[in-house]
Amino acid sequence: MSTYEDRLKALREELASRKLAGFVVPLTDEHMSEYVGSYAQRLAWLTGFQGSAGTAVVMPEDAAIFTDGRYTLQVREQVDGKNWEYVGIPGTSVADWLGEHADDGAQIGYDPWLHTRQWVEAAEKALAEKGARLVAVDTNPIDAIWPDKPLPSDAKLIVHADKHAGKSSAQKRQDMADDMAKKNVDAAVLAALDSIAWTFNVRGADVDHTPVALAYSIVHKDGTADLFVEPDKMNDEVARHLGNGVRVHERGAFEGALTSLKGKRVIADPERAVAAIFRALDEGGATIVAQREPAVLPKAIKNPVELQGSRESHLRDGAALTRFLHWLSIEAPKGGLTEMSAAARLQQFREESDLLRDTSFDTISAAGPHAAIPHYRVTEESSLPLEMDGIFLCDSGGQYPDGTTDVTRTVIVGTPTAEMKDRFTRVLKGHIALATAIFPKGTRGSQLDGFARQYLWAAGLDYGHGTGHGVGSYLGVHEGPQRISAANYPGTGWDEPLCAGMILSNEPGYYKGGEYGIRIENLVAVHEREIEGGEAVMLGFETLTFAPIDRNLIDLSLLSPHERDWVDGYHADVIAKIGPQLDAATAAWLGEVCAPLG
């Protein structure tokens, strides 16, 4: 099938043969992952959409693709509007759209290994009001028409050493067991890949940019566990590392193991375990305790070893980024650079450390109008040149054994307009406001989001993405449950209290469609703050990312004395922490671009 139109037609024919009037195609895998292996890229294969979040619905006459505000422009560039209706979420949910478009008596198919139970219930309710019903398929119809569908990765598991993890797997499982005993629970299902990697102190290479392995686990109240993973992914070193307390089974045995938990009280996470897991537990006679996986919060609250590893990985990564920015300052004005060539050179600088294991996501190397697409992904076909007097936005990160990084810098090649400087400075002011915030224990990220937006709001401006996401320790660059966002959906982790030890991004932005975009992103760690005379437990942020911020885009007249001091102090730290890692020419340049604002 040479075109996306052909693929859409083939899917409709396959659905008709199964007597289905529609099918839902999410961008996820059996573990509700954000980033998925090539074998699970069904949405991209069907539609051409290259973003990291989205869903499609295909019906006999209608087809729609659902994306959030990050992808409003990107989806229109990559998906043909002749065949697909563009639908924005959360304004319209997939369930609501189904309820509006399904005919009376229609059967709408879904893959129970790719949806949560909550989604299934919402879709069933919406369809029932139209006399239609949701039908679980035994096999995914896209797999039947995808002739060269990749196989799941066969990469080996690797041991994540305790010197990086800070706590042994046995101790982590015992902590879970102690918690289960308090809750009168017999076992807990771990379905999220990063939960499994963290719990067992293993890493993998089954998903691009995220060092996880395709596996499931059941942890028991005695601290032992069953790990379900393909046998050829194991080796003797991993087996010795796991020890006798972990029983290893084929991945395909997982569903059967769920049905054997009759009479047991079992934790299953409504957000991370798919509907098929709940169905298997129900059919097996288990009593489901619908709670968050016991690895989620301990994984998010980094221990001292993980925090120190993050600091060290950020210094290494900041030096690579600084070398890149110096190189860019010389080469970009000459002309000839493209988004692709710039991203490739940054990758080379990161690789020079010999510790880079992967990028933490596809580098967003965006010039001019592409910078206005928050999650733009450059390709050979889309790559634009870096032009004089144009903005270049680069959002990138690395995966290192001691930490995960994510940093965005926006620079001007040539001379900025007054409007560019105004917008950049308002973004910078918001970044500073969040970086310097002090807040009481128990504060949610949603309560802090407005700190970063206030100066844009004052000018009638805003941005269509969250201000901060959680970040893992040599794990997912997007990690829950913590985040900083205007959206606050109780029960989904968006209202999670921030705790000391959590790592988040601080990344306000501004995007002018078709012209340019701006984002300034550092990672920060939550820590306790001592306030003289204070009575409450207060928290604040420790900045982890160190790389220069482009002074040429700052309108000094908009900065307060406090904000100038912050920029000068931050740049002094950049010189002190990054300078010693640089060659003489780059160090001299860094001294110039990080000099006091004056």
Tell me the three state secondary structure of residue 253. helix
* 4-145: CATH architecture: 3-Layer(aba) Sandwich (3.40)
Q: CATH 3.90.230.10 in the chain: give the residue spans.
A: 301-593
Give CA–CA dist 441/367, Å, rounded. 40
- Which pLDDT tens digit goes with each residue over 216-269? 999 999 999 999 999 999 999 999 999 999 999 999 999 999 999 999 999 999
DSSP structure string for 40-52: G-HHHHHH---SS
- Distance (Å, rounded) from C-alpha 565 to C-alpha 571? 10
Please tell me the predicted confidence (pLDDT) of residue 566: 98
**What is the residue-wise DSSP string for 51-109?**
SSS-EEEE-SS-EEEEE-GGGHHHHHHHS-TTT-EEEETTTS-HHHHHHHHPPTT-EEE
Q: How far apart are CA 201 and CA 579, in angstroms?
A: 34
Question: Which pLDDT band holds residue 358 (cuts at 50, 70, 90)?
Answer: very high
Residue 530 amino acid letter: E
Confidence of residue 32 (pLDDT cuts 50, 70, 90): very high
pLDDT at residue 83 in the model: 93
Tell me the whole-structure pTM to 2 decimals: 0.93
Q: Determine contact, residues 332/379, Cβ cutoff 8 Å.
A: no
Please identify, in words, the CATH class of the domain defined by 158-299: alpha beta
SS3 176: helix
SS3 letters across 417-443: CHHHHHHHHHHHHHHHHHHCCCEECCC
Q: Compute the mean pLDDT over every residue in the chain, rounded to the nearest whole number.
A: 95
Mean pLDDT of 484-510: 83
The residue-averaged pLDDT of 180-201 equals: 97
Helix, coil or strand: residue 395:
strand
Give the helix/strand (H/E) hosting 457. helix 445-457
The fold for domain 301-593 equals: Creatine Amidinohydrolase (3.90.230)
Residue 1 pLDDT class (50, 70, 90 cuts): low
The tens digit of pLDDT for each residue in 326-352 reads 999 999 999 999 999 999 999 999 999
Bridge partner list, 215: none
Please write the tens of the pLDDT for every residue from 137-190.
999 999 999 999 999 999 999 999 999 999 999 999 999 999 999 999 999 999
* Lowest-confidence region among 81-95, 197-211, 497-511: 81-95
pLDDT at 318 over 50: yes
Amino acid at 551: R
Instruction: Tell me how far apart the alpha carbons of residues 124 and 341 are, in angstroms, rounded to a whole number.
Output: 48
Cα gap 544→524, rounded to integer Å: 5
Please give the structure tokens belonging to residue 509. Answer: 């932005």
Task: Tell which phi-psi region holds residue 201, choosing left (phi > 0), alpha (psi between -120 and 50) or beta.
Answer: left
Start-end of CATH 3.40.350.10 domains in the chain: 4-145, 158-299
Cβ–Cβ < 8 Å for 76, 66: no
Residue 538 and residue 532 in contact, taking contact as beta carbons nearer than 8 Å: no
What are 426-478's pLDDT values in tens digits? Answer: 999 999 999 999 999 999 999 999 999 999 999 999 998 999 999 999 999 99
User: What is the rounded average pLDDT of the residues 186-208?
Assistant: 97
pLDDT at 98 over 80: yes
CA 562 distance to own-chain centroid: 32
The pLDDT assigned to 494 comes to 64
- Quick one: DSSP state of residue 112? T
pLDDT score of 519:
98
Give yes or no for residue 491 having a pLDDT over 50.
no
Alpha carbons 319 and 430: distance in angstroms, whole number: 25
Residues 6+ apart with CB under 8 A from 9: none
> Looking at residues 190-195, what average pLDDT do you find?
98
CA dist 558 to 345, 425, 533, 553, Å? 34, 7, 33, 12
* 381 to 60, 77, 375, 376, 531: CA distances (angstroms): 32, 12, 17, 13, 54
Query: What is residue 34's predicted lDDT score, i.e. its pLDDT?
Result: 87
Looking at residue 490, what is its pLDDT?
44
DSSP 361: S
